[in-house]
Amino acid sequence: MTLGEALWHGQAHMPTTARTRLTIAGGDGAYVTTDDGRRLLDATAGLWHTNVGHGRERIARAAYDQMCRLETYHCFGRFANEPALRLADRLSALGPVDGAKVMLTSGGSDSVDLACKLALRHAQLSGDTTRTVLVSRDRAYHGLHGLGTSIAGLPYNRDGYGSPSLVPDTARIPTNDLDGARAQIERIGPERIAAIVAEPVIGTGGVHGPAEGYLEGLQALAHDIGALFVADEVITGFGRTGHWFASDRWGLQPDVITLAKGLTSGYAPLGAVLVAPRVADRFFADTPDTPMFRHGLTYSGHATACAVAEANLDILAEEELVARAAAAEDVLTKVLDPLRDHPLVAEVRSGAGFLAGVALRADVDGAAVAADVTDEGVILRAIHENTLQICPPFVVTDDEVDHIATTIRTALDRRV
């Protein structure tokens, strides 16, 4: 057996992947190193997650110290561990919603599934027994667990399972058209909707920032119809939009916020869900009839992952990396701007944080362009709508941001 013959990659055409596999063996700051010694600028921060950059010994030490003390203890029933307690309090204080309660998860997809279940449970407990529909935006990506796959606005991720939506009762609204969203909600029946789930900046669906007033309007619409407003901040949380949370940037007060990725910058698998008091309180009231939320995983609040998150948050705060992301957004917008005129470029989407998408014309092979740019030393991915994803670690320099744009241009010029 050759090395890795057994590994089945995610989201991959395996025969192609087996021939073109790129094995990353090391990482340092904004760079990673391949197993054959090439150094690549990580312009995607892995899968949008390496906010503090690679190779942070301080985080490794936090994991080591915690594992030597206690690898983990679960948080079911009356049990807990110290890092989980500290991290929950810290996230509640850091997040945009005062007094939020915090459930810890094993990643973004878990956070989304938890949020969906909580919205359905909230409706039932509120006596709204008809509220079983989960609404999300066209192009939205909410992870690949069952419920996240079902609600997302990327239909190809649920093709081939024999049911149009994996689970019933989901619906989509337009990505950025508030009147269209309102009309769609009227068609669905506002009294049937348990939650409207929205990525503040659509990531995997092609990098779409919100139209002016859209997110605020969507939140108001959710509340007008008696549904919960869930912000999926798995990408946008922990600095990516130049604020700790996109909800801060756009003045949102979601009922539920889903988090992962930048929570640990990928140094350990961990997610979190912040729940506003207006949803959480009924589960905390000191009465014999107080309901339980029957959810939780073996690794919810994993002690080592939580210790890693604490060290990661310390780095983000002490090195002022959220402000760095805000400044880098302007640099990224500026260096990508000239690409708008390139004959192979359909659209450049930037200005909603330190992330951008360069959408190529439909007749250009975006995956091949991304592969060329990667071979030139800058890791890129082609995502939805033939879009090149750009989302570097916050520690990247301005020159390196410029280098990303130059390398894209060179790869495109070669194809004209």
Instruction: Give the footprint of ligand PLP on this chain (CB under 6 A).
Output: 47, 107-109, 112, 141-143, 199, 203-204, 232, 234-235, 260
Query: Based on CB atoms, which residue is closest to ligand PLP, 140 or 307?
Result: 140
Q: Which is nearer to ligand PLP, 105 or 304 (CB)?
A: 105
Shortest Å distance, C-beta 150 to ligand PLP: 13
CB 128 → ligand PLP: shortest distance, Å?
A: 25
Query: 56: number of CA atoms within 13 Å, CB side?
Result: 26
In angstroms, give the least distance from the CB of 140 to ligand PLP: 7
Question: For tokens 């869900």, what's the residue?
Answer: 273
Query: Is 201 exposed, middle or buried (CB count within 10 Å of its CB: 0-12, 13-18, 19+)?
Result: buried
The token duo for 247 is 């909800």
Q: Please check whether residue 116 is in contact with residue 336, taking contact to mean a CB–CB distance below 8 angstroms.
A: no
For residue 390, the SS3 value is strand
Query: How far are the Cα atoms of 374, 375, 384 from residue 39, in angstroms, in the given order?
Result: 10, 10, 27
CB of 116 to ligand PLP, least distance (A): 11
Give the three-state DSSP class for 372. helix
Identify which of residues 114 and 225 has a Cβ nearer to ligand PLP in the complex. Answer: 114
d(Cα 70, Cα 64) in Å, to the nearest integer?
10
User: Minimum distance from CB of 207 to ligand PLP (Å)?
Assistant: 11
Query: Cβ closer to ligand PLP: 53 or 143?
Result: 143
* CA separation, residue 332 to residues 31, 36, 308, 338, 382 (Å): 18, 30, 29, 11, 18
| Residue with nearest beta carbon to ligand PLP | 108
CB of 216 to ligand PLP, least distance (A): 19
Minimum gap (Å) between residue 298 Cβ and ligand PLP: 16
- Residue among 136 and 407 whose Cβ is closer to ligand PLP: 136
Q: Tell me the closest approach of the beta carbon of residue 152 to ligand PLP, in angstroms.
A: 9
Residue 216 CB neighbours (<10 A): 14
| Nearer CB in complex with ligand PLP: 234/315 | 234
With 0-12 CB in 10 A as exposed, 13-18 as middle and 19+ as buried, what is 80? Answer: middle
Minimum distance of ligand PLP from residue 406's CB (angstroms): 27
By beta-carbon proximity to ligand PLP, the closer residue of 27 and 271 is 271
Residues 408 and 336: their CA atoms lie apart, in Å, by 9
Residue whose structure tokens are 């495109």: 412
Spatial separation of the C-alpha atoms in residues 247 and 215, rounded to whole Å: 9
Which is nearer to ligand PLP, 83 or 148 (by Cβ)?
148
Q: Quick one: 109 or 407, whose CB is closer to ligand PLP?
A: 109
Instruction: Provide CB contacts within 8 A for 401, sequence distance 6+.
Output: 328, 331, 332, 335, 392
Give the DSSP per-residue string, 39-57. Answer: EEEETTHHHHT-TT-B--H
